[in-house]
Amino acid sequence: MKFDKKTIFSDLSFKLKQGSMTALLGPNGTGKTTLINILMNMLVPTSGSFTFAKTVRLGYVPQFRNIDAEYPLSIEAFVGLNSAIFKTKKTKSAIKKQLEETNLYKIRHTRMGEASGGQKQRAYLAQALLDNPNMIILDEATASLDPLAKDELMQLIKHLNEKHKITVLFVTHDVPLARKYMQNYLYLNNRQIEQGKMSQFEEAYE
Ligand SMILES: Nc1ncnc2c1ncn2[C@@H]1O[C@H](COP(=O)(O)OP(=O)(O)OP(=O)(O)O)[C@@H](O)[C@H]1O
């Protein structure tokens, strides 16, 4: 990938297995978000290509921080934001299921602006899950959370992987957290990518 004449990365080659949990690690500015944007078809790479198996249904979970205190929608309305305005019974029950799954059902009427960071982040996750993905990409989803909220989110992601076989690609700077919850890593540095088992990840940038 190049921006003007600046090469962000080149000759990247990797495979993600169905049902795997992978941390995408790397120092600031090495192109993690750029790579995710390419995978999400939001950016066209300068050269090269990639494919997802035909069965892959991709979901994306952004960071919660762009929700400010004035944000008017309830958690429930936010989760259903991408579905039709007049909700069918089926959609309503799917929203309820995801609110329960993400431990938000009891506080579904809380305004998003008033929700905690962890709750907002889980609402983003519930919103992505509503489309029934079998792979999710999370972009620094734990970055602004306190340790408890981080663990709660990670437990949930682990559960989604174990129970629903959802493939996970998790962008993070938090190596200890990745060690605790992810099986594999992709490490983007010096324009190259390295892939391996999380338990064997050793890098100076920690
Ligand atoms: N649209 C763009 N035009 C020009 N340069 C860009 C564009 N998008 C990103 N870049 C540059 O590409 C490089 C990689 O940025 P990117 O945001 O992908 O890194 P990152 O690894 O996600 O960083 P961080 O960990 O800080 O989030 C940076 O030098 C950035 O300035």
Contact 101, 126 (CB under 8 A): yes
What's the half-sphere exposure (Cβ side, CA atoms, 13 Å) at 132? 4
Q: What tens digit of pLDDT does each residue of 2-28 get? A: 999 999 999 899 999 999 999 999 998
Rounded CA gap, 154 and 169, in Å? 12
Question: Is pLDDT above 60 for 206?
Answer: no
Q: Please tell me the residue having the least CA distance from ligand 1 atom 29.
A: 29
Q: How would residue 73 be classed by pLDDT, with cut points 50, 70 and 90?
A: very high
Q: Which atom of ligand 1 is nearest to the CA of 34?
A: 18
ipTM score: 0.95
Cβ count near 170 (within 10 Å): 25
Q: Is the CB of 9 under 6 A from ligand 1?
A: no
Rounded CA gap, 66 and 54, in Å? 32
Main-chain phi, psi angles of 72, to 5 degrees: -85, -20
Nearest CA to 13 out of 188, 202, 190 is that of 188
Structural element, H or E, at residue 157: helix 147-164
- The domains of the chain are located at 1-57+134-199, 67-132
| Percentage of the chain exceeding pLDDT 70 | 98
Q: What tens digit of pLDDT does each residue of 134-161 get? A: 999 999 888 888 999 999 999 999 999 9
From 8, 24, 140, the mutation candidate for ligand 1 (largest count of ligand atoms within 8 A of CB) is 8
Question: Is pLDDT above 70 for 204?
Answer: no
| 8 CA from centroid of ligand 1 (Å) | 8
Domain at 1-57+134-199, CATH class: alpha beta
